[in-house]
């Protein structure tokens, strides 16, 4: 068994046919357009701006919400969303928006840890597979198959079972699960760039192994990896909130996005906002990250 697929979100749209496809090199002006266009496009900034706000929530939560996320005002419990409480209040009278804002750092840190593990281990494995010869490639690829064969969900479960539920266990579990995708993208990108004529030419122009790697191979293969970074952050947020929902993340009363929704579940009948609105935030963030991934892929595409 061997598994090879293209990353679902990463490969960008096929370029439209140029007006005259006689297999000749295209003119100069058409080639410059995509890059500058991508940087200037309002769609990119519409994607980036809200994500910057979310990062703001994580770094300076008090700036975005004046309410205390842990202790509520019992008199104000289970209020519907209003101008004062945007996302309403929960059973203890805590402002739900404040809990979402204060929970951001927890969720993002856990997801960040996961992505970092995936990036570092995956890049290492991918580079090894692509540069250390055929035997290393075969062994590494089988290892990646194994990582794919054991669902990340179960890897997280083993770790949570053996240690204790919590963000670090979750981050490690989800991170191990994302190693495979990073390894595959890094491997295929390095293989692609390495076979290009300009890399060979760089050797012929007196480049040493490391100078060529740093001057040509890494800069030209980083685009898809950066894009995967963004997309995978979204995937990790989803996985972590799912495990948080099952109760394997931070214990209450820490605000964490998945836990918020799990807590709201008991009030499904009386307070729809407790589950619906925090969930909508998760959906929005994950979509934005996927969009950012597509933009990054376009910008760094050569």
Q: Judged by CB under 8 A, which of 41, 131, 137, 145 binds other proteins?
A: 145
CA distance 81 to 87: 5
- Using the minimum distance from each CB to other proteins, give the nearer residue, 112 or 247: 247
The least CB distance from residue 46 to other proteins, in Å, is 14
Quick check: 133 binds other proteins (CB under 8 A)? no
Q: Phi-psi bin for 51: left (phi > 0), alpha (psi -120 to 50), beta?
A: alpha
The least CB distance from residue 298 to other proteins, in Å, is 14
Q: Which residues contact 144 (CB under 8 A, 6 or more apart)?
A: 3, 125, 129, 179, 180, 183, 184
Q: Pattern of binders to other proteins over 195-224, x per CB under 8 A? A: -xxx-xxx-xxxxx--x---xx--xx----
The least CB distance from residue 57 to other proteins, in Å, is 18
DSSP 30-84: HHHHHHHHHHH-HHHHHHHHHHHHHHHHHH-HHHH--S-SSS--GGGTTPPP-SS
Q: Which residues within the stretch 25-44 sit at the binding site for other proteins (CB under 8 A)? A: 25-29, 31-32, 35
Q: Judged by CB under 8 A, which of 154, 251, 252, 266 binds other proteins?
A: 154
- Using the minimum distance from each CB to other proteins, give the nearer residue, 73 or 124: 124
User: Alpha-carbon dihedral of residues 235, 237, 242, 245, nearest 10 degrees?
Assistant: -170
Q: Which listed range, 43-51, 84-92, 95-103, 153-161, lies at the site for other proteins (CB under 8 A)? A: 153-161
CB-facing half-sphere around the CA of 248: CA atoms within 13 A: 25
Encoding tokens for residue 251?
Answer: 């214990």
Q: Judged by CB under 8 A, which of 103, 234, 249, 255 binds other proteins?
A: 234
Q: Which residues within the stretch 235-294 sit at the binding site for other proteins (CB under 8 A)? A: 238-239, 241-242, 245-246, 248, 258, 261-262, 264-265, 268-269, 272, 275-276, 279, 282-283, 286-287, 290-291
CA distance 240 to 217: 33
Quick check: 160 binds other proteins (CB under 8 A)? yes
- Using the minimum distance from each CB to other proteins, give the nearer residue, 81 or 279: 279
Size of the site for other proteins (CB under 8 A): 87
- Using the minimum distance from each CB to other proteins, give the nearer residue, 26 or 82: 26
- Using the minimum distance from each CB to other proteins, give the nearer residue, 73 or 78: 78
| Nearest partner of 301 among 212, 189, 195, judged by Cα | 189
Contact 90, 264 (CB under 8 A): yes
Burial of 296 (0-12, 13-18, 19+ CB in 10 A): buried
CA distance 276 to 294: 27
The least CB distance from residue 69 to other proteins, in Å, is 20
């Amino acid at each position: 068994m061997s598994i090879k697929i293209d990353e679902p979100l990463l490969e960008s749209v096929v370029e439209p046919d140029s007006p005259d496809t006689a297999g000749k090199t295209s003119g100069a002006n058409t080639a410059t357009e995509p890059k500058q266009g991508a940087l200037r496009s309002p769609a990119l900034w519409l994607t980036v701006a809200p994500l910057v706000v979310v990062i703001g929530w994580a770094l300076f939560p008090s700036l975005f919400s004046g309410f205390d996320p842990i202790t509520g005002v019992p008199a104000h419990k289970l209020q519907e969303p209003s101008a004062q409480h945007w996302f309403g209040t929960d059973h203890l009278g805590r402002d739900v928006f404040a809990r979402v804002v204060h929970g951001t750092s927890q969720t993002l840190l856990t997801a960040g840890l996961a992505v970092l593990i995936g990036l570092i281990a995956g890049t290492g494995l991918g580079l090894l597979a692509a540069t250390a010869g055929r035997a290393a490639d075969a062994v590494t690829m089988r290892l990646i198959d194994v990582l794919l064969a054991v669902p990340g969900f179960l890897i997280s479960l083993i770790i949570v079972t053996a240690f204790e539920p919590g963000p670090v266990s979750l981050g490690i579990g989800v991170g191990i699960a994302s190693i495979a995708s990073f390894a595959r993208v890094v491997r295929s990108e390095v293989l692609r760039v390495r076979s290009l004529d300009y890399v060979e030419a760089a050797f012929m122009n007196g480049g040493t192994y490391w100078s060529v790697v740093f001057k040509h191979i890494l800069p030209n293969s980083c685009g898809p990896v950066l894009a995967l970074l963004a997309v995978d952050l979204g995937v990790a947020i989803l996985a972590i909130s799912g495990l948080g929902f099952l109760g394997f993340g931070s214990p209450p009363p820490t605000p964490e996005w998945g836990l918020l929704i799990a807590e709201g579940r008991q009030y499904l009948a009386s307070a729809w906002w407790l589950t619906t609105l925090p969930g909508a935030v998760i959906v929005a963030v994950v979509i934005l990250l996927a969009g950012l991934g597509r933009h990054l892929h376009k910008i760094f595409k050569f």
